[in-house]
Structure 1
Amino acid sequence: MYEDALAQVDLFSTLNKKELQVLAKSCQPRSYSADSTIISQGDSGVGLYVILKGKVRIQQANDPDKAEEVISVVGPGEVLGEMALLDDLPRSASVVTLEEVDALLLPVWEFRSILRNHPDIALKLLAVLSKRLRKAESRQAD
């Protein structure tokens, strides 16, 4: 049902149709009104979000005496909160809707169960994450 939406996400771009179906079965639809907080910096992560419709602002508070800094604005096809699926650390940024947003939530416990039962999915996701890290490191070096 949601596999076509997941196929558009960079993180899942290397998965085949069957693997996408496995992930899609665990996704839960969510809707948010404008100016709603989807993720709060410092909270524990409950899962990964895929934006289906609408735009969100990703913001981060680095200094308690200053306003939150806007990191980016993202929309459909973007994924939020993927780091929390892997590291159990608090959320590194907040995400606030700029308009009505429809999203898919892939809960962390479902995601981890899928990885245990489908190691090929885990290997493919690790390759994508490794590529992202290399890209970030090369930008830092410049």
Structure 2
Amino acid sequence: MTAISSPAASCDLINWRFLRVVLHDIGSPLGLQIVRCLLYHALERQDIDRQGGNMINQDTIVLLKRVPLFSRLSDRGLKAILKSATDKEFKAGTKIVSEGDTGVGFYLILSGAAEVRRGEERLAKLGEGAFFGEMSLLDGAPRSADVIATEDTRCLVLSPWAMKGLIAAYPEVALGMLEELARRLRETDRALS
């Protein structure tokens, strides 16, 4: 029968110092840093994150995974998107973006529907998972059409800086955007033929 050895004394000493810092020196910079670190990792393990007071939850992650543009991303990448995005709601009939305005964001429809219009002509109907604003985002040109909510619509909005940072960190997002732009160009070619 083998004897069970005790942990090394240095191990006990390290644990004791750590406990002393947490319990007695909590007001010290090191103590606060340790507590923050422990809380952050505990919350991360619970899959809890905060962004603008709203919970970034698994339901939103699942919704983003269904969007072809973001389907290749890991949960970590999807959380990065949610941390840098804002959540905006638009009532039916509200103009989300206006033709000729300077583009200030990339929009992804989380729920609801919208129409893309130029004057009286309806160019496209957009639903859950559709995105717009990518052209102005990429080249800085004015918006090429109006986008109007046809029902109450919730959008995830990314600023140009956040989207460009996201593309740099996750090149697969750029690939998804290019695939969608190619699809839209083919549809336009067919419509003009």
Same fold (TM > 0.5) = yes
Report deviation, 1:133.
4.7
- Establish whether residue 54 from structure 1 lines up as the match of residue 112 from structure 2: yes
- Establish whether residue 10 from structure 1 lines up as the match of residue 68 from structure 2: yes
Q: Report what 2:173 is aligned to.
A: 125
Q: For 2:90 and 2:186, how far apart are their aligned partners in 1?
A: 36
Q: Mark the runs of 5 or more structure 1 residues left unpaired by the alignment.
A: 62-67
Counterpart contact for 1:59–1:72, Cα < 8 Å: yes
| Structure 1 counterpart of 2:135, from 83, 89, 97 | 83
Counterpart contact for 2:110–2:156, Cα < 8 Å: yes
Partner SS state of residue 134, structure 2: coil
Q: Report what 2:25 is aligned to.
A: none
When residues 135 and 36 of structure 1 are mapped into structure 2, their CA distance, relative to the original with a 3 A threshold, is closer
Q: For 2:139 and 2:70, how far apart are their aligned partners in 1?
A: 18
Tell me the amino acid that sits aligned with residue 58 of structure 1.
V
Report deviation, 1:29.
1.0
Report deviation, 1:129.
3.3
State the Cα RMSD in Å.
Answer: 2.2
When residues 113 and 126 of structure 1 are mapped into structure 2, their CA distance, relative to the original with a 3 A threshold, is closer
- Establish whether residue 22 from structure 1 lines up as the match of residue 22 from structure 2: no
Question: After superposition, what is the alpha-carbon deviation per residue over 1:70-93, rounded to whole angstroms, capped at 9, x for unaligned?
Answer: 011121111121222211111111
| Structure 1 counterpart of 2:99, from 31, 35, 41 | 41
Q: Report what 2:144 is aligned to.
A: 92
Q: For 1:138 and 1:100, how far apart are their aligned partners in 2?
A: 30
Report deviation, 1:46.
1.2
Q: For 1:4 and 1:127, how far apart are their aligned partners in 2?
A: 20
Q: Mark the runs of 5 or more structure 2 residues left unpaired by the alignment.
A: 1-55
Question: After superposition, what is the alpha-carbon deviation per residue over 1:25-46, rounded to whole angstroms, capped at 9, x for unaligned?
Answer: 1111111111100010111111
| Structure 2 counterpart of 1:103, from 135, 138, 155 | 155
Q: TM-score, normalised by structure 1?
A: 0.79
Relative contact order higher in (CA < 8 Å, ≥ 6 apart): 1
Q: Which moved more, 1:95-104 or 1:127-136?
A: 127-136
Q: Which moved more, 1:33-42 or 1:1-10?
A: 1-10
Q: For 1:83 and 1:9, how far apart are their aligned partners in 2?
A: 18
| Structure 2 counterpart of 1:71, from 116, 119, 123 | 123
Question: After superposition, what is the alpha-carbon deviation per residue over 1:77-118, rounded to whole angstroms, capped at 9, x for unaligned?
Answer: 1112122221111111110111211111111122223334x1
Paired residues, number: 132
Counterpart contact for 1:6–1:24, Cα < 8 Å: no
Partner SS state of residue 19, structure 1: helix
